[in-house]
Structure 1
């Protein structure tokens, strides 16, 4: 990998360690050289050694003198580095078998449920091909993308945007918690299983990418921690957050890949995007139940659309060391610029959630004192229906007041009355 390349189109030398790449008058140069090779001339970028007539180790080894540019990962830094083509990852036999078995399992599952399903479906503009497209009874189309090896974030976003433009909801499948597709589009993570187990129908759980909404009142009796005080104390307000099934209270049943095939096509499960709240990430993509999605939209007061442009995350910020160009061909050399291990992107922890005002109390008799959002949040936190809410006969705080066996007084008032 090198820190300099020759641009055959402009006839210029590019220093990848400089913020302006050595050409202040070309503001679009970075975008041009980092574009996918499929979208540009493969011979746009050339090894400097080859251009200067010196030995190109890649070409002498029977490979290409042409190059591509990507972000490296070294000691927490993200320098731009140039590597020789080809860049296409060649799947190992095991990866290819896993990919094929998963794709066939999705298609076969859809057929068992009476859904239409096809494999290797090209988009209308022929720019992308979905591994499988499952069509629900209402015409909803889910494009399954089985991605068991690394793919650049820009490619994930581009292919996802192209699918959405053609009426297909993308659903990316990964097996690695470091996969770059995680939280760049609707996704699900499964176990790294032998292809034969996948083909034989062994239990295939969704380990990441599917969550449930939980709403709770932050009081001492709550099993949940306070979102506002780092787990210390109780604020008395209402919190709402998303949890993986294993961390729900009580614990929810795990979601199987067969469940997601059916529910995504019928609309019982839908993709949701939750923007980050101070954690430095662009946001979380997740699959959730339609009921949870409706409640969330009611609580936050709006529907958050899927991102229309890729957001730059802290981990993607390029580092420019401002060095001299190393003019040697580094093809095939180990240890010159070793990439750090990819960081985890799939975290089991909650998303950060939202906090709503504390349970309101009656302001005056006959006044409208509960907003729709407050009512929805309180009903979810108290585990009752919105029409079963009412004021405590003692303090006036909103509580589960009506319905079978519902008390007249809240727990605090009952405790106070019993202690007299």
Structure 2
């Protein structure tokens, strides 16, 4: 079909997209031309002997392509007589388009599903042609449409009509593109990948879908909620769902849609209706929420993530850094000291060592919840307690006693380090220099040398 027609007798071009056919000087030009063409048809005059020819691509190619007029669904159309003339208006399929079709078929076959490209399905008196049709589980049919060409900000006008006709005939439409303006449309369920050349698309590496797949976050609209209330009030107290963009591998999307693990939904908001893909578990929870928004729908028993990391080309996503496991909780110092038995009197060589300050005294003197309460004397006392706890550890021989004493030493040393940090921050000093001064002052005051390990008894 074409929109520009050449009238041989009138020697004018007829633009079927305009009501006056592009000629304001002629009154009811369409009625005259269409009535004459219908009269020729009623008298069985061959199309090639009528007055209409293609005035677009065919004429530019130097080919005389006879045409006839018709009105279908309220639209004016000019139809070629020969199929080869009609094919001349069809843009050649790009290499990227073919690469996507091959990749869809390959991904479906790896999942155990069959499919075919350029499938024509008869619908009444007309046909539906699908770029790639996948036969999924339980009779599910996924019709993949690859739209890579640019057709303005509004995109192809036939998307909504083609998607509607496919749904009426049991085909789930899945439109994929690399254009950002298409991905923002909601006339069908669009998915988008980055703009890549054909040789990259055809590779076996991971191709990532960056738009069109989302995860639903279900939450209660109260004072603890992070999202704003979609009803425009401060807090309504009801349960809501908020879609969050998620990336997914293109091959996984093809196989999951065929298996029914990922399904298309229509998400209603206050201003518009969005169309995107979610997991079947999120779809079921959303239906429960629509049925009763006074309570949150139950969470699925097994929430498997459809997003995974990959190290393969061309597009990959690094793995998330594993969270560090928390340090074991240390027992309180006073409690740990209760398990240490009374030690024998020190020898003459160790009699110069003064008794250590109790840990409770260190807590009192070194309590620095307020930064201005930390004094240098408190830092020295805390460091002395840590040094004495370390020396006590070297004097024990029992494994249980050493384990308890080691806990005490860790607790007292952590308190001393925290006090040094608060003092340096409050005085705007270098923490390393403050720690070295505290260590040296603690040893000079009591006449201790740097601790040396004692052999076990």
When the two structures are superposed, what TM-score results if normalisation uses the length of structure 2?
0.46
When the two structures are superposed, what TM-score results if normalisation uses the length of structure 1?
0.49
